[in-house]
Structure 1
Amino acid sequence: MTNQLPPEPVHFVDRAEEQDRTARELADWDEGRSRPLRVALVGMAGTGKTELVFRLARMLQESRPDGFERILYSDLDDLRCEGVVEPADVLADLLRSLGVESGWIEDSFAARRRQYWEQTEGKRLVVIVDNARYGTEVEPLLPSSGASVVIVASHGRLHDLPGADLEFDIGPLEKSDAEELLRQVAEDPRLDAEPEAVRRLLELCDGLPIAVHVAARWIRRHRRRPLSRMLDELSAELHDKGMPVVEKVWDAAYEGLGSDAALLYRLLAHAAGPSLPFEGVTALLGRGEDSADAALEELEAAGLLDNREEQRVRLHGLLRAHAKRRAAHDGTPEETSAGQSRLIRWYLRQAQRADVAAAGTRLAVAERAPEIPLTADVPFASKPEAYAWLESERHVLFDCVRVAHARGFHHESWALCEPLWTHFLDHRHYADVIDAFRTGLAAALRSEDLPAIVRMRCQLARPLWEQGEFQVAAEELEGAADAARTLGTSRTERILAASVMEFHGSLHTAQGKWRDAVGDFDAAREQHVAIGNEYGVLLLTYRLGEALAALGELDRAAALLSDAHTEARKMGRERLTARTGFALAGVRQSLGQIAAARDLYTESLASARDRKGDRDAALTLDALAGLAEETGDDAGAREHRAAAAALRARHGGLSQTG
């Protein structure tokens, strides 16, 4: 079972009514319904909604003898870009959690939604949607199974998502419950000896569990002083600062930090992304692994970290806001800028290294980032590890692009977009990618870096046209072509100029403008011939052959694709060998050369199976089925279609490919 829940907390109080009512509702729920049971938790930040959501999910799992198949979790705040969530990207994350491999996730929102319905049909799932702001963000994430439960946590009511079966208003803890939580966490005899001090401290916490936890840890850190004296000093110091009373508790915890921990707390307030790995924290602090480790231990002991994620460092939303205020009060702009610079340069270096490990040597405009002092690199032992790192760190990488541009680190901003291109080809997070590439383009324009401008406009064009924005994509490519005319004559710049023509051809292909595509691919191919770029010649020969085949110029297409197929095999390009063979097989079939087509399809299928390329295998099986039908082999056609359907079912692809 996939269970996306953090470890159960040691300390938890109250919320018994919510748990009891949810259990009763589940017991009475008719799983034959066509919609899932929906539970809504509404309350201000800091009231413990997220932990209650997790507790409800654990309770639901334990309440059924056969349990739930999977518990899925999505924090929409982690996916927001300037306050907006793209549902298609959330669906992609949920589909991966359901076992769908990235290569099988559909591109469009509509197709992903159908795929999600297929993957959730009839299943017992708990789907948790945290930090929702609008019902339109949640509605596409509802599974299609009446045997599932959806738990939504939000700060306000989602009036555009009607039909919650249970809705709870989650307020601050009652004083008795807050005191129980304080005693559980602090485990201090002074709480019995000084009841008045406890009362005053709980007033400061205002019933917020997050504040009670920090207050309890503050007590644990100061074992010798009487609580009353500590509170007197705290109140006297902060009485006139005009901040919410709960902030006094966090200020007390912050004031007790050492210099490295206090600095790290301030820097985390402005760090890119929702959370960081330990190496990223080390880069942010800039004082080596030992100092970063000690600072993190101190922050954790003070209760100033969110410990939901293992192996990552996060500030709760309220604590991040508090840390920003402390940074404004105690820090300097130079301190913040230096920390952001170290973090962004470290991420740029790791992303470039992951790019090379995943995709090999390819056209890159930006120079390789140097090592970051006192910070280790991430080891990438294989292509899958590199791809997995790019995916796991994508939220930080996208945010680094934005922060770098806003800070004036324009080179780093657009340079980060180059490895994000490799990530995009494997993971279609369209909203984030388009925003990042637009920001990278703006940074390249500010830098007045012509190769970077060409690169960014081309990279931006593809996700635009894949989302149907053909005119906008064409305008970007026209801008790229204008900039390319002023490039120099170095090998890299000439290859870059040829790539603009190739992108034009790909755009025309996406629009079905095959004659225009032929002209573009032919011109780009001639450029690669002049440069002596063998791989470029191979790729454009293949693309030109495909376009001619679409126009019905089969003899010329066959000649080009045959050349490309032979050269791809000579160069050891296994995947391209299979693709050129598949395209050539289609042309041979159209020319009536059935035996040759069958041999090529069979060869492509064997290659796909050898490299575990099941998506290519499914497409080839579809083609073999069509060839079998054409020759009257109905049994063979059924066999191939059944094998293709089995592959799609195994990997979570849509059952219907059209």
Structure 2
Amino acid sequence: MAEETHNSLDGRADVVVQAGHIDALHQHLHGTVAPEQPVPFQLPPALAHFEDRQAEQERILRAAESHAGDGSPLVVALSGIGGIGKTALGFHVARRLSRRYPDGVLYVDLDDLRRDGVVEVADAVAQLLTGLGVTPEWLERSFAGRSKQYWTRTRDKRLIVIIDNARYGSEAVPLLPASAGSLAIVTSQGALYDLDGTAPVEVPVNPLALDHAARLLARIVDDHRLPAEPDAAAALVRGCGGLPAALNVAGQWVRKYRRRSLSRLVEELTAELRERGIPMVEAVWDAAYAGLDQEAARLYRLLSLHPAPVVTDPAAAALLGVGQQRAVDALEELESAGLLERRSEGCRMHDLLRGHAARRAREADPDGAERAEARRALIRWYRRQSGRADLMAAGPRMTLAELPEPVADVPDVEFSTKTEALRWLESQRLALYGCVRLSFDSGLDEDAWALCEPLWTHFLDHPHYADVTDAFATGVAAADRLEHLPAMVRMRCQLARPLWEQQRYDEAAEHLRRALNASEALGGSGPERKLRASAVEFGGLLKLAMGELEGAATDFDAALRIHTAIENAYGVLLQTHLLGRTALRQGEVGRAVTLLSDAHRMAREQRRERMTARTGFELGRALRRAGRAAEAEDLVRAALRSARDRGSTADEARVLEELAGLADDRGATAEAAENRALARLLAARAGGPADGGQSS
């Protein structure tokens, strides 16, 4: 297996150093410490047009002024139907109150994290922690651990936390900050009756009154026809039902058809409403859809297939089956019509509009042929890009699926560095995880499990456990349904790791038992024997995680024999390293030195930079315990340089702790204290444990 398989750390705590402990240290260690985290302000630019909501705003402001801070944050619950403007109101109030809450504004959209109607709250907590400066490598793995991190990071803060699109109070309660001086704004379509223990200030958000809606429309579109045809304008406003979202679409519609009389537009809208017999807002969207050209209308329908809230330009081109520029033109028309919202990362379609697009797709494509073709192209494009990103980020490694051919007329994403590839995987994770499920549900089983291979590389740096566990379980089901024996082994090994990292040891053990049994039926070729060695290695890693050191050593030794027999040099290196680490944990220092010396030599010979640093660090730890501190210090300092070059604060903190121990051994107490302080500072700023210590 690739070296990333073993990039795990333990020994974490849930308390971080307070900023007051590090001011002097920051000056003393200038140049080695990351800059202070900026105060988070996760609000988009203010809307150019915001109307009324005075009663709602005043009620929230009064609650903020009178909140006693009796141990719980102030919770404001905004409820109303989709498109009513709850989020815009929450953003508007947050801006008004931001001076009262100087520690920042955080935002999380639960619909972005929802799968099959369920939110994995641990991932929502992780997103909020990220806003507070916690980097992915320092996130706790369990929900309980992340909750403690969140409580620690928000304690004594004056924050605003906006929790958007909650369906149940139980989704929002774990996301409330721990400070009584904070404000949480929760939006939902219906009232949340299970916001237990919060005594929320409930603020229903109702449709705008006609006069307010008319003023909002006039602000959205400055058009002479509105005052010139007041009756038609009033009819148009009434047709929007007081929903700001509908008024925005209507405004775009009026702006687009500047040569038509307003009376004619209203007449056409009314006719459309009568013919289809659908609600007012649906009629507005239908009218906007009817005004699209053929290509934009087809893309609008197909966007209902995209498995993530935001679609990028090339993904739209894959759906549409045309060149990227034509897809960009179609997206621009949809944006102009008010059917898409342009964001920095791509275009976002509101859920209500996604449903509307799906209805239009079923009407235009009753047998589903157009949608099936678009679905296959989209999945193939994502599978190809993720495979390319994996190759750039992880380098050549054991993979079973071949890279698909390019999608006609759709460009590949350019990855010039490992960092760019990893960032792309993270930015597109919702789409990639969604494509695994979409593939499986569409009967595209090879695509389903093949997509899981590059998601392994992403998982090692970004442990979104709910997503990855669901995806890898789907990969297992797809491999089973296809009866693809190597994939059955591979997918079960991949699924086992997130399971054991969540302390679901029995489930992990069962999957590895079945993987090992399946591997017995593999043939005798080099790749098949390599896959069996991988399954054996995963069994050892599970035992190592559970503290079963003798069993782990036995498995690593068995995997080593296989890699030696098939002359797989990297496999020999990796198992030798794992055996050395295990020996050190068993207290067999001399044997650990021998094994880790061999592993370090092999890593240098194979020019594996990261493994050279990892094996060097472990060898340094073993040499120190063997009383060979001078040799150890050179290796540990080399590991420190590598960690800093890679930007890994977790590795840097761990190495600094080891350097502190070496300094203690030399009697250099000031140097030891300095290294420990810097390790704790790095850990605190990244959201890790306060003591900075990480065990291997």
What's the TM-score once normalised by structure 2's chain length? 0.89
Letter in 2 for 1:367: E
- Partner of residue 75, structure 2: 38
- Partner of residue 526, structure 1: 561
Please list, as runs of the form range in 1=range in 2, the aligned pairs for 1:148-187 lying within 5 A after superposition: 148-161=182-195, 162-164=197-199, 166-187=201-222
Residues 24-65 of structure 1: CA deviation (Å, up to 9, x unaligned): 4444556x765433222111111011111121222223x55x
1:466 CA drift (Å): 0.7
Q: Say whether the 8 Å CA contact 1:19–1:59 is kept in structure 2.
A: no
| Number of aligned residue pairs | 653
Identity of aligned residues (%): 51
Residues 515-553 of structure 1: CA deviation (Å, up to 9, x unaligned): 111111011111111111111100000111222333333
- Partner of residue 322, structure 2: 287
- Partner of residue 73, structure 1: 107
Alpha-carbon distance between aligned partners in 1 of 2:608 and 2:157, rounded to the nearest angstrom? 41
Residues 344-382 of structure 1: CA deviation (Å, up to 9, x unaligned): 111111111111111111111110121111111111121
- Partner of residue 207, structure 1: 242
Alpha-carbon distance between aligned partners in 2 of 1:554 and 1:157, rounded to the nearest angstrom? 62
Q: Say whether the 8 Å CA contact 1:413–1:443 is kept in structure 2.
A: yes
- Partner of residue 120, structure 1: 154
Distance change in 2, residues 1:363/1:229 (3 Å): same
Q: Say whether the 8 Å CA contact 1:47–1:208 is kept in structure 2.
A: yes
1:131 CA drift (Å): 0.3
Letter in 2 for 1:420: L
1:440 to 469, 475, 486: 475
Alpha-carbon distance between aligned partners in 2 of 1:613 and 1:300, rounded to the nearest angstrom? 40
Residue aligned with 2:119, SS: coil
Please list, as runs of the form range in 1=range in 2, the aligned pairs for 1:16-165 lying within 5 A after superposition: 16-29=54-67, 34-61=71-98, 63-64=99-100, 68-161=102-195, 162-164=197-199
1:605 CA drift (Å): 3.3
Residues 564-604 of structure 1: CA deviation (Å, up to 9, x unaligned): 12222222223222322332333334444455444544443
Is 1:653 matched with 2:691? no
Letter in 2 for 1:7: P
Question: Structure 1 residues 414-423 or 639-648, which shifts more?
Answer: 639-648
Is 1:3 matched with 2:41? yes
1:295 CA drift (Å): 1.3
- Partner of residue 563, structure 1: 598
Residue aligned with 1:3, SS: coil
1:69 CA drift (Å): 4.1
Alpha-carbon distance between aligned partners in 2 of 1:634 and 1:288, rounded to the nearest angstrom? 65
Alpha-carbon distance between aligned partners in 1 of 2:659 and 2:255, rounded to the nearest angstrom? 70
1:296 to 327, 331, 351: 331
Letter in 2 for 1:127: V
Alpha-carbon distance between aligned partners in 1 of 2:214 and 2:484, rounded to the nearest angstrom? 60
Alpha-carbon RMSD: 2.3
Please list, as runs of the form range in 1=range in 2, the aligned pairs for 1:251-330 lying within 5 A after superposition: 251-307=286-342, 309-330=343-364
Distance change in 2, residues 1:525/1:86 (3 Å): same
Letter in 2 for 1:331: D
Alpha-carbon distance between aligned partners in 2 of 1:211 and 1:102, rounded to the nearest angstrom? 39
Residue aligned with 1:151, SS: strand
Distance change in 2, residues 1:592/1:278 (3 Å): same
1:459 CA drift (Å): 0.4
- Partner of residue 50, structure 2: 12
Letter in 1 for 2:263: S
Please list, as runs of the form range in 1=range in 2, the aligned pairs for 1:343-354 lying within 5 A after superposition: 343-354=378-389
Residue aligned with 2:118, SS: coil
Letter in 2 for 1:104: W
Residue aligned with 1:532, SS: coil
Residue aligned with 2:541, SS: helix
Distance change in 2, residues 1:650/1:245 (3 Å): closer
Alpha-carbon distance between aligned partners in 1 of 2:645 and 2:478, rounded to the nearest angstrom? 43
Q: Which consecutive residues of structure 2, in runs of 5 or more, have no partner in the other structure?
A: 1-38
2:409 to 374, 377, 383: 374
Letter in 2 for 1:419: P
- Partner of residue 188, structure 1: 223
Distance change in 2, residues 1:567/1:199 (3 Å): same
Residues 604-648 of structure 1: CA deviation (Å, up to 9, x unaligned): 334434444331222223234445557776555433322221221
Letter in 1 for 2:161: V
Alpha-carbon distance between aligned partners in 1 of 2:644 and 2:146, rounded to the nearest angstrom? 26
Question: Structure 1 residues 214-223 or 586-595, which shifts more?
Answer: 586-595
Q: Say whether the 8 Å CA contact 2:157–2:179 is kept in structure 1.
A: yes
Alpha-carbon distance between aligned partners in 2 of 1:71 and 1:252, rounded to the nearest angstrom? 37
1:423 CA drift (Å): 0.5
1:12 CA drift (Å): 1.7
- Partner of residue 402, structure 1: 437
Q: Say whether the 8 Å CA contact 1:272–1:400 is kept in structure 2.
A: yes
Letter in 2 for 1:382: T
- Partner of residue 243, structure 1: 278
1:96 CA drift (Å): 2.0
Q: Say whether the 8 Å CA contact 1:118–1:654 is kept in structure 2.
A: no
Alpha-carbon distance between aligned partners in 1 of 2:669 and 2:299, rounded to the nearest angstrom? 68
Residue aligned with 2:266, SS: helix
Letter in 1 for 2:41: N
2:453 to 412, 415, 418: 418
Is 1:614 matched with 2:652? no
Letter in 2 for 1:111: G
1:146 CA drift (Å): 3.9
- Partner of residue 536, structure 2: 501
Question: Structure 1 residues 494-503 or 141-150, which shifts more?
Answer: 141-150
1:491 to 526, 534, 557: 526
Residues 266-285 of structure 1: CA deviation (Å, up to 9, x unaligned): 00112111111112111111
1:294 CA drift (Å): 2.0
Alpha-carbon distance between aligned partners in 1 of 2:336 and 2:182, rounded to the nearest angstrom? 38
Greater RCO (Cα-Cα under 8 Å, separation 6 or more): 2
Q: Say whether the 8 Å CA contact 1:191–1:198 is kept in structure 2.
A: yes
Alpha-carbon distance between aligned partners in 2 of 1:575 and 1:311, rounded to the nearest angstrom? 31
- Partner of residue 578, structure 1: 613
Alpha-carbon distance between aligned partners in 1 of 2:121 and 2:175, rounded to the nearest angstrom? 8
Question: Structure 1 residues 508-517 or 572-581, which shifts more?
Answer: 572-581
Letter in 1 for 2:491: M
Alpha-carbon distance between aligned partners in 2 of 1:9 and 1:635, rounded to the nearest angstrom? 54
Alpha-carbon distance between aligned partners in 2 of 1:79 and 1:418, rounded to the nearest angstrom? 22
Question: Structure 1 residues 381-390 or 232-241, which shifts more?
Answer: 232-241
Q: Say whether the 8 Å CA contact 1:40–1:164 is kept in structure 2.
A: no
Distance change in 2, residues 1:282/1:164 (3 Å): farther
Is 1:604 matched with 2:639? yes
Distance change in 2, residues 1:238/1:605 (3 Å): closer
- Partner of residue 545, structure 2: 510
Alpha-carbon distance between aligned partners in 2 of 1:164 and 1:260, rounded to the nearest angstrom? 50
Residues 225-261 of structure 1: CA deviation (Å, up to 9, x unaligned): 3333443444344425342232111111111111111
What's the TM-score once normalised by structure 1's chain length? 0.94
Q: Say whether the 8 Å CA contact 2:310–2:345 is kept in structure 1.
A: no
1:170 CA drift (Å): 0.5
